[in-house]
């Protein structure tokens, strides 16, 4: 029935049922209802300010919309897919409640500027939730770091044991990643919290709108500058998806490490029961499923970013219905990022790291070899030669089945006359850490400084 549609004036025939099913978005964009209602209330108030509606009319619209929100929140609202989207569903219910006055709300507005406003409000709310969750994750990492300032583990390059570091330093590296993610969110918010209302369909409107007043009413920082850009810009969604992708990449890297560390051949960490599962056939197993799922879910978030980039790449100006495909990737990403961050914040305190296992791997791996080379270089031996001498000493120790620190001075002197009794001070693993005094390194001063900075950041956000 053509007359049923709000836009149906020129249509003689009904929309095909398949077309209704194919094109509806209310089955997912109903989630924008809170922003839709907030935006419409601001629009009504400003229409009154501009002398378009009487104060009483605006008041009736605002109250009618409050009623619609209550219905949605209490689960009484019946979403109707034949009405396409959240905007038409809300407006039509408003008109049922307050009568024909509801039809005045859409003056000086198009769904094209309306949908972007709704989506901007939604994305902004959710980005703030992500930022809060990131703060909880950073706190959980900092707490573990605090407890492991003396725990030595093999720092790797190429996933090969390279030099000893403290576990706190390793975990604080992740704090840096997550703090940058939070910063990226702040940056996204700057471009998300911009009001597009007043752009109308694409060209602006003949009505005397006041976009700044709408933005002020909604507490948004900025107002669109170009109506064509306002209705077709989805950069803010791309940026949110990118930011979510980076968050997931960071989480996934850590998950990968935990999965490796939990393998009994490493035994660096014991998994919390609350976030592990057993095998239905192999009784000895304890699987790091939460970490695996998080690593796995990362792919779908990257996929959402790709999907929206692809939607946007061929679109001529201005609004095209293709843009309706911006929402599901974001909803899915939001669910994934928010739940993953919540799981990580809750799971992190349950990891029991095993310092003895980490230490044993350090000692077995000749991770103090660089110290010996540096020791020789400090005594004037050209570094290349020092490197060579150290290599020979490592080969000797390996054959003898002991660490460099367990060689006797006589054994050392077969490789260089420059080695003296003081070599044992530098080969000591705790000394390796202590002597790394360079800024941002794994030495104790740097690590406690980093911890302090992370704590200060936690206070400031």
Residues with active-site annotation: 158, 279
Smallest distance from ligand ARG to CB 202, Å: 10
* Structure tokens that stand for 105 in this block: 């709300």
Q: Which single residue is written with the structure tokens 């009568």?
A: 99
Minimum distance, C-beta of residue 193 to ligand ARG, in the bound complex (Å)? 20
As measured in angstroms, the least distance from the Cβ of 231 to ligand ARG is 9
Q: Which two tokens stand for residue 144?
A: 């573990």
DSSP string, 383-426: HHHHHHHHHHHHHHHHHHTS-GGGS-HHHHHTT-TT--TTHHHH
CB of 432 to ligand ARG, least distance (A): 58
Choice between 117 and 433, CB closer to ligand ARG: 117
Crossing angle of helices 86-98/33-49, nearest 10°? 60
Q: Which residues lie near ligand ARG (CB under 6 A)? A: 25, 29, 85, 111-112, 115, 319, 321, 323-324
Long-range contacts formed by 284-292: CB under 8 A, 24+ apart: 286/262, 288/255, 288/258, 288/259, 288/262, 290/343, 290/347, 291/255, 291/256, 291/258, 291/259, 292/255, 292/259
Closer by beta carbon to ligand ARG, 110 or else 416: 110
How many C-beta atoms lie closer than 10 Å to residue 244's C-beta? 32
First-last CA distance in the chain: 54
> Which of 278, 211, 202, 209 lies closest to 53, judged by CA?
209
Residue whose CB is less far from ligand ARG, 29 or 217: 29
Query: Which residue, judged by CB position, is nearest to ligand ARG in the bound state?
Result: 324
Radius of gyration of the chain (CA): 31
Nearer to ligand ARG, 22 or 159 (CB): 22
Which one, 81 or 277, has the nearer CB to ligand ARG? 81
Q: From the CB of 447, what's the least distance to ligand ARG, in Å? A: 49
């Amino acid at each position: 029935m053509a007359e049923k549609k709000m836009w149906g004036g020129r249509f003689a025939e009904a929309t095909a049922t398949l077309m209704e099913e194919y094109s509806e978005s209310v089955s997912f964009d109903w989630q924008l209802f809170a922003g839709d209602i907030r935006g419409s209330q601001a629009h009504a108030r400003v229409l009154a300010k501009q002398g378009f509606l009487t104060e009483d009319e605006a008041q009736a619209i605002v109250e009618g919309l409050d009623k619609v929100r209550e219905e949605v929140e209490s689960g009484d609202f019946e979403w109707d897919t034949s009405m396409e989207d959240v905007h038409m569903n809300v407006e039509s219910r408003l008109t049922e409640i307050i009568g024909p006055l509801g039809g005045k709300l859409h003056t000086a507005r198009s769904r094209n500027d309306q949908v972007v406003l709704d989506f901007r409000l939604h994305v902004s709310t959710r980005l703030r939730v992500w930022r809060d969750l990131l703060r909880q994750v950073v706190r959980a990492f900092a707490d573990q770091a605090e407890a492991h300032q003396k725990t030595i583990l093999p720092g790797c390059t190429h996933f090969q044991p390279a030099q000893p570091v403290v576990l706190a330093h390793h975990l604080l590296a992740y704090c840096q990643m997550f703090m940058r993610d939070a910063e990226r969110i702040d940056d996204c918010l700057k471009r998300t919290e911009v009001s597009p209302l007043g752009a109308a369909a694409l060209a602006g409107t003949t009505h005397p709108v006041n976009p700044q007043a709408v933005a002020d009413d909604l507490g948004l920082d900025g107002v669109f500058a170009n109506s064509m850009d306002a209705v077709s810009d989805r950069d803010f969604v791309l940026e949110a998806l990118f930011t979510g992708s980076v968050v997931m990449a960071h989480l996934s890297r850590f998950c990968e490490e935990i999965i490796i560390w939990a393998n009994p051949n490493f035994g660096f960490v014991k998994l919390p029961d609350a976030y592990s599962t057993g095998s239905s056939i192999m009784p000895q197993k304890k699987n790091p499923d939460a970490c695996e799922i998080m690593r796995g879910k990362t792919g779908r978030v990257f996929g959402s970013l790709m999907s929206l980039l692809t939607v946007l790449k061929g679109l001529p100006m201005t609004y095209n219905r293709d843009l309706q495909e911006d929402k599901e990737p974001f909803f899915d990403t939001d669910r994934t990022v928010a739940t993953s961050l919540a799981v990580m914040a809750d799971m992190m305190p349950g990891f029991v790291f095993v310092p003895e296992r980490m230490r044993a791997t350090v000692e077995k791996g000749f991770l103090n070899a660089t110290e010996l080379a540096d020791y020789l270089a400090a005594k004037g031996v050209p570094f290349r030669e020092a490197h060579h001498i150290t290599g020979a000493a490592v080969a000797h120790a390996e054959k003898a089945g002991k660490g460099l620190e367990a060689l006797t001075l006589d054994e050392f002197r077969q490789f260089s006359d420059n080695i003296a009794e003081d070599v044992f001070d530098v080969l000591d693993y705790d000394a390796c850490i202590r002597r790394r005094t360079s800024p941002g390194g794994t030495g104790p001063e740097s690590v406690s400084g980093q911890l302090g900075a992370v704590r200060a950041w936690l206070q400031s956000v």
